[in-house]
């Protein structure tokens, strides 16, 4: 299971509306969610909002918690950039009717310079 940081190691960047096409497990290649919206990003991770209806499995759709995803290796595709990124689910948060927030840490899968370049390329609003 990945480590959870209790402090912010990199400043977050507010972005224009970016969407993900899917969120999938790297281990089983199972599609976990059909869509999501990127809320914030930093050079260490990304924050994605997923509506309950966008989850594929009934188990994830029907629960008030998606903590079973924590520590899982996942990958997702940023639609507007045609870019696939992998990482580990660091934490999740239930938002009520709005769905869930999923924080993905991608420090293990990408070198520092790549993550810094990504931050420069992400469009801000």
Classify residue 81: in a domain, yes or no: yes
pLDDT confidence of residue 12: 64
Say if 65 falls within a structural domain. yes
Our count of domains for the chain comes to 1
In a domain, 48, yes or no: yes
- Confirm whether 8 is domain-assigned: no
CA distances from 124 to 11, 90, 105 (A): 14, 24, 20
Report pTM: 0.84
Tell me if residue 21 falls in helix, strand or coil.
strand
pLDDT, tens digit only, all 125 positions of the chain: 344 444 445 666 667 789 999 999 999 999 999 999 999 888 899 999 999 999 999 988 888 889 999 999 999 999 999 999 999 999 999 999 889 999 999 988 788 888 888 888 888 76
pLDDT the model gives residue 55:
95
CATH for 60: 2.40.10.220
Q: Which domain holds residue 51?
A: 13-121
């Amino acid at each position: 299971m990945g480590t959870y940081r209790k402090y912010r190691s990199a400043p977050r960047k507010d972005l224009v509306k970016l969407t993900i096409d899917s969120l999938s497990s790297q281990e089983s290649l199972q599609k976990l969610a059909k869509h999501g919206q990127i809320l914030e990003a930093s050079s260490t991770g990304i924050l994605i909002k997923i509506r309950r209806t966008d989850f594929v499995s009934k188990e994830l759709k029907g629960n008030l918690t998606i903590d079973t995803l924590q520590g899982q290796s996942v990958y997702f595709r940023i639609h507007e950039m045609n870019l696939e990124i992998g990482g580990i689910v660091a934490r999740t948060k239930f938002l009520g009717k709005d769905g869930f927030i999923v924080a993905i840490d991608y420090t293990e899968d990408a070198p520092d310079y790549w993550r810094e370049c990504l931050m420069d390329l992400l469009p801000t609003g």
